[in-house]
């Protein structure tokens, strides 16, 4: 296999990696906020369930969770899992990352001084106005460093998709390396991941800078 | 009367903070509340502005009931939609300013008038600038709170409360978080508001200010009003032993 074929095959894999990455963020960033809010719900049952969810997600390996989501429908319900590979993958990633984001959001929300809520209350803001206009913007600024960490971890975690034999860049690197008895695919994969994270770090830094106009 | 509070009771985990307090404020009146810390001054203000709920008693704004005690002895508030109207009657200036750090000074003043009171942006900004001029900080309209001194921040906070056009303005130790050299500028604008007959209730430790500016002084201790009256009487000729004792500390 020529280097250029190797590169183009792996670039296609990298596109699939990006797909996992983008879909996971698109799902888990908002879902994490919902989970964070449910964790502070007025209903004890809801609080208990969300805490259990976060605890299970954080207490088990993501690789295992992916296998459960993929094979679960077959072993538990005898359902066919044809075409289920990619949905299972995304569900696994989204639910995993939502739990971590939820904890980051919670920390951010709890770090906002109670005086901000009181000022809103006295000025007559509704609960949703208070959250959307006053609290959330400040939370976002405060949690940016932790979110950046998590997003960079996600870029690398996408490689766990190989457990479900999804043809993203890491799976391909392994396959090509084995079939061609070559070390080069690993180097290419490494460069791809590094470049992806370089872009992520750059973007996140720009966002942090944009939020630098106040303290 | 702008506000009337009758037989107010408030407990925090079994600790009685307010014991049967009654007081009212007339239109244009400036009332100072003094007393040792833990006497219930701030709690009274927080109950008046609906940040805390009372356990018993009655709160009336402009003669209209916002909360009362029912037959079973429980305090009942009006529906939360009506409560919003009662909230709009009063403003509160906090000890810690509590400005919105992500908003410019101007937006701190205009956001609630636009979003809550649905006033036009143009009108809200115009009246905000007018207030800032009055507070002597019109040049800071585009600045962010962190760029201002404590005294300037507190003046912005006062302007933000006034921007809602409240009937009555409460101050919870407005100068206690400020360096001594910055208290003067804040007290000056409060005095200016008093001259314009703004109805105000000020919890303060600034005795000379309370004496000079207020029409009435209330001395609170242990969750009750120990003594109240004309500031000259209360400060120069207090009747109650507890008041004398408290004021003596300030004379030293």
CATH number at residue A96: 1.10.3720.10
Q: What is the mean pLDDT of each run of 10 residues along chain B (252 residues)?
A: 94 92 94 93 95 95 93 89 91 97 97 97 97 95 96 97 97 93 93 96 94 94 94 92 89 66
- Per the CB < 8 A criterion, the answer to whether A13 and A143 are in contact is no
Interchain contact, A133 vs B96, CB within 8 Å: no
User: What's the confidence (pLDDT) of residue A81?
Assistant: 86
A138 in contact with B, Cβ within 8 Å: yes
Q: Is the pLDDT score of A13 beyond 90?
A: yes
Left (φ > 0), alpha (ψ -120 to 50) or beta: where does A172 sit? Answer: alpha
Phi, psi of A155 (to 5 degrees): -55, -45
Residue of A nearest to B83 (CA): A124
Task: Give the tens place of pLDDT for each residue, A172-190.
Answer: 999 999 999 999 999 999 9
d(CA B100, CA B107): 9
Interchain contact, A134 vs B100, CB within 8 Å: yes
A114 in contact with B, Cβ within 8 Å: no
Give residue A99's domain range. Answer: 3-211
pTM of the full structure? 0.91
- Per the CB < 8 A criterion, the answer to whether B160 and B109 are in contact is yes
Interface test with A, best of B102, B105, B113, B148 (most A CBs within 10 A): B102
d(CA B169, CA B177): 19
Which member of B50, B51, B98 has the closest CB to residue A116?
A: B98
A129 in contact with B, Cβ within 8 Å: yes
Interchain contact, A134 vs B87, CB within 8 Å: no
Return the SS3 of A141: helix
Distance from CA of B213 to the nearest CA of A (A): 25
When divided into structural domains, chain A yields a total of 1
Task: Give the tens place of pLDDT for each residue, A191-203.
Answer: 999 999 999 999 9
Return the SS3 of B189: helix
Listed in sequence order, the residues at least 6 apart from A109 whose beta carbon sits closer than 8 Å to its beta carbon are: A36, A40, A135, A139
Distance from CA of A211 to the nearest CA of B (A): 9
A215 in contact with B, Cβ within 8 Å: yes
Which among B24, B31, B32 is positioned nearest to B1, based on CA atoms? B24
User: What's the confidence (pLDDT) of residue A2?
Assistant: 87
């Amino acid at each position: 296999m020529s280097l250029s074929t190797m590169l183009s095959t792996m670039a296609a894999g990298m596109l699939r990696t990006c797909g996992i990455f983008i879909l996971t963020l698109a799902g888990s960033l908002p879902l994490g906020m919902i989970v964070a809010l449910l964790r502070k719900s007025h209903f004890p049952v809801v609080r208990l369930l969300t805490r259990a969810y976060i605890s299970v997600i954080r207490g088990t390996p993501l690789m295992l969770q992916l296998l459960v989501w993929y094979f679960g429908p077959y072993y538990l319900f005898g359902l066919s899992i044809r075409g289920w590979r990619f949905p299972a993958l995304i569900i696994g990633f989204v639910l995993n990352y939502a739990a971590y984001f939820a904890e980051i959001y919670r920390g951010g929300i709890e770090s906002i001084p109670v005086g901000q809520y009181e000022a809103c209350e006295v000025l007559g803001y509704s609960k949703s106005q208070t959250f959307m206009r006053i609290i959330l913007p400040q939370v976002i600024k405060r949690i940016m460093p932790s979110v950046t960490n998590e997003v960079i971890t996600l870029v690398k975690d996408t490689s766990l998709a190989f457990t479900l034999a999804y043809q993203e860049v890491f799976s391909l690197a392994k396959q090509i390396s084995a079939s061609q008895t070559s070390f080069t695919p690993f180097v290419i994969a490494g460069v791809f991941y590094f470049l992806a994270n370089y872009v992520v770090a750059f973007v996140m830094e720009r966002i942090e800078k944009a939020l630098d106009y106040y303290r | 009367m702008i506000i009337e509070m009758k037989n107010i009771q408030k407990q925090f985990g079994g600790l009685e903070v307010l014991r049967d307090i009654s007081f009212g404020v007339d239109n244009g009146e400036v009332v100072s509340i003094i007393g040792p810390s833990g006497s219930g001054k701030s709690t009274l203000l927080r109950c008046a502005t609906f940040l805390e709920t009372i356990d018993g008693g009655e709160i009336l704004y402009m003669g209209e009931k916002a909360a009362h005690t029912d037959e079973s002895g429980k305090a009942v508030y009006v529906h939360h939609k009506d409560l919003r109207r009662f909230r709009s009657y009063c403003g509160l200036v906090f000890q810690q300013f509590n400005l919105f750090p992500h908003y410019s000074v101007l937006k701190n003043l205009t956001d609630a008038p636009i979003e809550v009171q649905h006033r036009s942006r143009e009108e809200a900004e115009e009246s905000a600038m007018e207030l800032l001029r009055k507070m002597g900080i019109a040049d800071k309209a585009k600045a962010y709170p962190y760029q201002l001194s404590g005294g300037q921040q507190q003046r912005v906070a006062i302007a933000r409360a006034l921007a809602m056009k409240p009937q009555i303005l409460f101050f919870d130790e407005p100068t206690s978080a400020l360096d001594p050299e910055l208290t003067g500028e804040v007290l000056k604008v409060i005095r200016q508001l008093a001259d314009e007959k703004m109805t105000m209730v000020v919890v303060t430790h600034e005795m000379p200010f309370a004496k000079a500016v207020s029409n009435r002084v209330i001395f609170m201790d242990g969750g009750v009003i120990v003594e109240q009256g004309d500031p000259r009487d209360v400060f120069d000729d207090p009747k109650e032993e507890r008041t004398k004792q408290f004021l003596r500390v300030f004379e030293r």
